[in-house]
Amino acid sequence: MDNQNQSVTHQNMHTGAVPQHMNHGGHEMFDVHETLSGSISVLDQFMMFRQYVQDPELMDTLDRQYQFILDEYNIMVEAFSTGKDPSHPTQSYKMKEENDFIYGLKPSQPKKPNQSLADLNDKGISGHMLGLIKSQASLLTMTSLEVTNPVVRRMFADSVPNWIEMAYEISLYQNKRHIYQVPQLASQDMQQMLQSYSPATGQPQMPNGRTMH
């Protein structure tokens, strides 16, 4: 957290000093509202998914991620409404999955829309979970670039790696079950692409800046 910024006096060129709880820009207000609403949507949909989950491992992931997102939402609301550090810092999400992907494609049935709620299964639920987490990760990233309040900006920026971690955990769960399949390029093509770049060497000759007359 940016504790050193708590005592800074912020100024509005028209109205003077800005109180700490009003230390937000206009664009920030709209973006943070949209992002917090997005977190609520993720939480509500995770709650709805729970009644359809059958795999205990997926249920454990859903419950752990739900609790983490709920806590993060609460401290974001606290910081946004006060302009100050929340009651506790942003936490780091710890996933349980081993981070080893299985590469290659295994034949599977073509995908198609469900005909009824009876068709819902862990494959589909985990896919919905992954889509929600990835979308919210993008929204959090874009919002953090628009925030002027130093505490709220740092919270949003710090939260992004956690959403990346949660998405990675779900994709690993799917990968183990051949739901999220990862093809690879042919070795020759991969090798060529891996060697497509080389580091910059020496001191670049930068042009002189334009002189104002």
Question: Residue 52 is part of a domain; what is its CATH number?
Answer: 1.20.1260.10
Are the CB atoms for 9 and 17 separated by under 8 Å?
yes
Q: Compute the average pLDDT of residues 82-96.
A: 92
Which DSSP helix (H) or strand (E) runs through 151? helix 150-176
**Distances from the Cα of 205 to the Cα of 198, 202, 208, angstroms:** 18, 9, 9
Question: What backbone torsions phi and psi does residue 104 show, to the nearest 5 degrees?
Answer: 110, 160
* 167 close to 135: Cβ distance less than 8 angstroms: no
Determine the pLDDT at residue 19. Answer: 54
Question: Which tokens in the block code for residue 117?
Answer: 């709620």
Residue 104 DSSP label = B
- Measuring CA to CA, how many Å separate 213 from each of 78, 206, 210? 51, 21, 10
**Angle, helices 26-49/56-82, rounded to nearest 10 degrees:** 160
Res. 17 pLDDT band, cuts 50 70 90: low
Task: Look up the domain containing 165 and give its range.
Answer: 25-84+93-102+121-185
Task: Note whether residue 111 is domain-resident.
Answer: no
Residues 6+ apart with CB under 8 A from 107: none
Residues 173, 126: contact at Cβ < 8 Å?
A: yes
- As a whole number, the mean pLDDT across the chain is 88
Mean pLDDT of 142-151: 89
Does some domain include residue 116? no
Is 162 contained in some domain?
A: yes
Mean pLDDT of 88-116: 91
pLDDT at 14 over 60: no
How far, in Å, CA of 153 to CA of 171, rounded? 28
- Whether 202 maps to a domain, the answer reads no
**% of the chain at pLDDT higher than 90:** 69
Tokens encoding 150: 């130093």
The whole-number pLDDT of residue 1 equals: 43
**Taking Cα atoms as reference points, which of 110, 145, 156, 154 lies closest to residue 2?**
154
Tell me the pTM: 0.86
CB 128 within 8 A of CB 50: no
How far from each other are the two terminal CA atoms of the chain, in whole angstroms?
A: 44
Say if 170 falls within a structural domain.
Answer: yes
Segment 38-81, tens digit of pLDDT? 999 999 999 999 999 999 999 999 999 999 999 999 999 999 88
Contacts of 9 (CB under 8 A, 6+ apart): 17, 18
* pLDDT grade for 4, boundaries at 50, 70 and 90: very low
Residue 205 within any structural domain of the chain:
no
Instruction: Flag whether 203 is in a domain.
Output: no
Q: What is the pLDDT of residue 148?
A: 83
Is the residue at 196 inside a domain?
Answer: no
User: Can you read off the two tokens belonging to residue 63?
Assistant: 């419950």
Total number of domains in the chain:
1
| Residue 139: alpha-carbon gap to chain centroid | 7
